[in-house]
Structure 1
Amino acid sequence: MICKFQRTIKREITIKGIGLHSGEPVTLKLIPAESYDGINFIRNNVLIPARIEYANGFEFSTSLSREGQSVRTVEHLMAALYFTGIDNLFIEVSSEELPILDGSSILFIEKIKDAGIVSLNEEKIYAVINDQITVSDGDKFIKGRPYEGFVATFQASYNNKIIGNKMYRYDSTVKDDFLNVAKARTYCFLEEIEFLRERGLAKGGSLDNAVVFKGDTVLNPEGLRFEDEPVKHKVLDLVGDLYLLGMPIIGEIYSYKGGHRLNASFVRKLIEESKFDVKYASEVIDSMSGLNAKISS
């Protein structure tokens, strides 16, 4: 979906919950912004732009920091903002970590849609990938290439019968495909929980906000939302991290076993090697064949 104009929300939204890793209560206030304001977090009166330049923590989530203030686990909200086409927003955070809610992005999206989305007067800006690009870490890698639209694929490789080598390909031009990704919850293995808590993580985790595997068994009474929910959630994380470029991408992204750190490395390499062109929505639409360009205001 190509949105022609920049977007924000119609009215302020308040969202309350707990942090997945901190276990602390947190209140978010999502506040409408003007064209070209971008997406910005505010913590203790410090503005932290949702840009890769401020990303400095990738241990089981993505964190942003500036002037001694940090916000953690931003990827689920960032994915929700991408899926709803929000370019400009101020996000006041009462605690260091964003609320985990149900472990996916869908509740953020529902809150944003309930508040209403408004188009602004200025054209939306896109990052159009202009060449092939690859980042790797051992056997993990992420590849990008030019494409008429936005596609993000995650390929897993687990010694686990449920996840195994499953793959999911999100295509922004497919109607409502974003719901398949947005509803997918974060997950972990039971044997990881003690390790995480020893490191001060997962203090707020429960079966209400994460899928927990014990070997090849799902411990959540309701089971999985999708047969391939874990890989769909990895696509969600990828989309959220990619949005730290500061604008939506036009291109095809393929991730093999990638995580937050590799996602960030990919975005940084895109910038450092100038592997994308900045274009207004009208330029993107004009350059496409029309087969993949579905246009929204």
Structure 2
Amino acid sequence: MSAVVIDEFGGQDKLKQREVPMPEMTADQVIVQEKAAGINPIDWKTREGFLQGMLNWQFPIILGWDVSGVITEVGANVTDWKIGDEVFARPATTRFGTYAEYTAVDANLLAPKPKNISFEEAAAVPLAGLTAWQALFDHGHLEKGEKVFIHAGSGGVGSFAIQLAKSVGAYVITTTSSKNIDFVKGLGADQVIDYHETDFAEILKDIDLVVDTIGGDAQEKSVNILKHGTGRLVAITGMDSEKTAGLAEARNVTFDSIWLDPNGEELTKLADMLEDGTIKVTLDSVHEFSAEGVAEAHDRSESHHALGKIIVRFK
């Protein structure tokens, strides 16, 4: 099969397309013929070598951890899925990712592709949607009537987080640039801050939950806007901050830096919400599967200006 791989860490020029062996399937997995794959910041951060300490893999590495497609083979222990099923998933984090024509996926991580969306839209959901779900509910314990502040609401995770927070009756505040204010309001944001014009830390207070998608100074400043004693800060940047943890302890608020846990049951809940229209997908751009197409997609992601999700599709 054809795949886009890296043989060493570095820039977009390290992405190479070539023939590789078909994935080997265990008894608890299925083989998915890919129709589309999502692009996420973890992809190019891994390519650059930023995550070497967390992901100690041998080369070659196939990047990509979002997929939608059709099942072509089923493992001996798999009973809930059959050949021909249309599915989507956030596969386990291994060096055999989804920048390939076929991929092996643990059966318990699959969800049925919603019938009312395309394969491209389905591939946009798993990693970003599950990250938003887990940040808000599994770790953030968001409840109806609470105030949640979501950094970067027009991005992949942020755009899902706004919609999910509104679905449980929260008051949603987010940041974006002026050109995307109408977009995030359309997703359900109650209050929008143009981060070019206003420092959120100067106008927000008594926030119940902050979902930090950007890290750095914004993460540390987020501690001070939380409700004393009960406020929660959940960071998804994958980089824990000792300073933030210390600030949170001093203010008597909770700080949690999380790493996505692939989860087929939660993804199925997202599939149901997509089918009934509770949430929707926004595609920033769709690129053709090739080394050049993947490089273009990485370039778009690295720009930090994507509106929604970036996708690679297979012919």
Q: TM-score, normalised by structure 1?
A: 0.29
Q: TM-score, normalised by structure 2?
A: 0.27
Higher strand share: 1
Higher helix share: 2
Query: Which of 1 and 2 has higher RCO (CA within 8 Å, sep 6+)?
Result: 1
